[in-house]
Amino acid sequence: MKQETSEILNAFKENQKNRGRLLINCPDQPGIIAAVSKFLFDHGANIMESSQYSTNPEGGSFFIRIEFECSELQEKKEELTSEFQEIAKKFSMDWKLSLVSELKKTAIFVSKELHCMRELLLEWQGGDLMTDISLVISNHEDAREIVERLGIPFHYIPATKENRAEAEAKQLSLLKEHEIDVIILARYMQILTPDFVAAHPYKIINIHHSFLPAFVGARPYDRAYQRGVKLIGATSHYVTDDLDEGPIIEQDIMRVDHRDQVEDLKKIGRSIERSVLARAVKWHLEDRVIVHGNKTILF
């Protein structure tokens, strides 16, 4: 199974070897698109897709995502990065140039609920999630067989309030060793410390039910059932020091009624969580997300 997935990923990297992405965030003013387009044209690049947004043309913030094709891009990347600095400085840009063929390295964190992890692995196996899943870290052993069957390294690191510092030190060491770009909390039921979050700003993606802030804490579905909720859903967001309040990437809902019991609500909730997290991760991997304050711009 790992060989089949590797073949899919390698074929993707070969097919996309000349495809690049440019993400830009800067103060809005005339001439930004013209300057960037001319730069790409001068370097032999052809724009394949371009999406932009301005919060306000008079003193607002401007965002743009450009996907382009450029022959021998892998050899030209350093040159493009260096020469774009002049434009970036002129327009006070926060920017990132990435090669589509350079797949991001991903780590999945999971506890005992495996539905979100299963969905990610399924999408990855089918070639719908283009990433290098480098390892899975868990504070339980439940996921080991599933993960190792796919040839992915599995690391069991018990984590509690009492040993949190020790556990995170081991986790951070593994993330550094594997040069991880993205961390996915696929129902990882532990709170991360500020130091851990600070080490990976806007690179940690979480998923949880959307009952917050109405039903905080344990047994949210039981309390939602008692309250007679009519909508349930899920939220995927970047992790910040403010618990479950980071920039939202994706959300979805489903209508329920009085016929649905607690177990029905949980089953529906798990289904929504799976799809919402998968979409959020995919958009991040495709460089479609720009964080702006505590919000996200999605292209």
| Catalytic positions | 244
What is the radius of gyration, based on Cα positions, of the chain?
21
Alpha-carbon dihedral of residues 221, 225, 231, 235, nearest 10 degrees? -10
Measured CA angle at 175 (ends 172, 177), to 5 deg: 110
Tell me: cis bond preceding 247? Omega within 30 of 0 counts. Answer: no
Separation in Å, CA 99 to CA 83, 93, 133: 16, 19, 18
Spatial contact of 124 and 182, defined as CB atoms under 8 Å apart: no
User: Which among 143, 96, 91, 81 has a CA at the least distance from the CA of 118?
Assistant: 143
Structure tokens belonging to residue 137: 């870290």
Which is it for the CA torsion 125, 127, 128, 131, positive or negative? positive
| Distant-in-sequence, close-in-space partners of 173: CB < 8 Å, separation ≥ 6 | none
The closest of 67, 37, 75 to 49, measured between CA atoms, is 67
Contact 155, 135 (CB under 8 A): yes
Strands 248-255 and 231-238, by their bridges, are antiparallel
Is residue 20 within 8 A of residue 70, CB to CB? The reply is yes
